[in-house]
Chain A
Amino acid sequence: MLELVTPLIAPIVVLHVVIGIVTYVTLLERKFAARMQSRIGPYRVGYHGVLQPIADAVKLMMKEDVVPTAADKPVYNLAPIVFLVPCMFIFATLPFAPGLGVADLNIGVLFFLAVSSMEIVGLFMAGWGSNNKYALLSAMRAVNQVISYDLPFVFSALIPVVLAGSLKLSDIAAAQSGLWFIFYPVIGQLAFIAFIVSTVAAENRAPFDILEAESELVAGFRVEYSGMKFALIQLGEYAHILGASFLGALLFLGAWSGPGPEWLGPIWFLIKAMLVFLLVTWVRWSFVRIRVDQILALSWKALLPATLLLLLATAVVVVWRANAGL
């Protein structure tokens, strides 16, 4: 019986937990950024603003949903959902503890990477359907950027795969029970840096947020969205960031391994993911944005060759170690 019910209930539970975490991740980022900028951040709703995300959600739901007259309505209305679904899908393969997750696929990493780059479809639909020149430019930039950065993203995520010798996420986590991959000499650190850079870029976060670029393109592809649709896009974006943070914690920071009893595992995992998230946030609030041509140049001329070489070096090291019997 349990085998039948679990696949039905687990996704619902995970979905709700993820949405809950995502809403509070926004508060975490706002507080963190505020302190970095000598401000205090949300403060009025609840004690030190703890109820702020809920207030935001309620506000966005109550807002009028404006559809531009000239918009391509089916595309425009569908875009937030097409954007949100892949962002939520990436949690399907994530194990939160040994055996705790929706589906621990054999090709977990591959599924994750494939689905996470699907968000570009929703992005482009939003930019195109809005029938707005800013949104269109932003969508064009988004396609450029996401395609360029998915490759280094994939290559840097493949390094732990090579080290662990499996595409299954739980296997990769288990392989780090002795040594977290970030502490793997040289390769681990470089791969982590490449992973963070390409995560920031693939998630379109500052300093690579050229498709949002509110000083040039106002708000980019979501300039015409308001109310619930805006909330969905926002939710999708943060879910994607959260998913990538979990992936980073899993691939490099040893997932749920940590001191204390075994049931603390998911909590350790969450803490590590939050650390990755805060690192990305820290980068975001420290730099100015760079231009579209420079972003592409960085990807194709620097990051892609670097990650490729690193992957090659990792493979060589792994083969050498296997041959040497280490």
Chain B
Amino acid sequence: MTSDQARALIAERFSGAQIDGTYPITATVSTDQWVAFARFASDELRCRFFSFLTAVDWKDLGLEVVVRVDNLDDNIALLMKTRLGPGVSVCPSIMPVYKGANWMERECYDMFGIHFDGHPDLRRILLTDDWVGHPLLKSYAVDTPHPPYR
């Protein structure tokens, strides 16, 4: 499979998706289709290599979850994105599809406060359990006071 074929396949199967570029293919899907799209990427595009999961805080436009996966055999790179919408911080978890999403989603919850629906073990990973706030949100200023260490 080449990148162009993969693009065509995505366009065919997910008509609502915005597709951009070839290496990597950037595909933005709606949050409802998120898990289905991940499963499609894994099973049909054979993008089995899970690179990373993160989020971007677009202030008023809300949060955007970004996932990068690769097909190591055919060298196809796919950047999956979904916009959660303003004020929303719930996203379905893709842990059933990619095991690597376990720690990455925990980190994302830690930093952005996104609740991943279906993640079995969603706790803070890098920060302490009693940390207040989610530091990578743009509303969390660098000098936000935090409680002293206990």
User: Do A and B share a direct contact in the complex (Cβ within 8 angstroms)?
Assistant: no
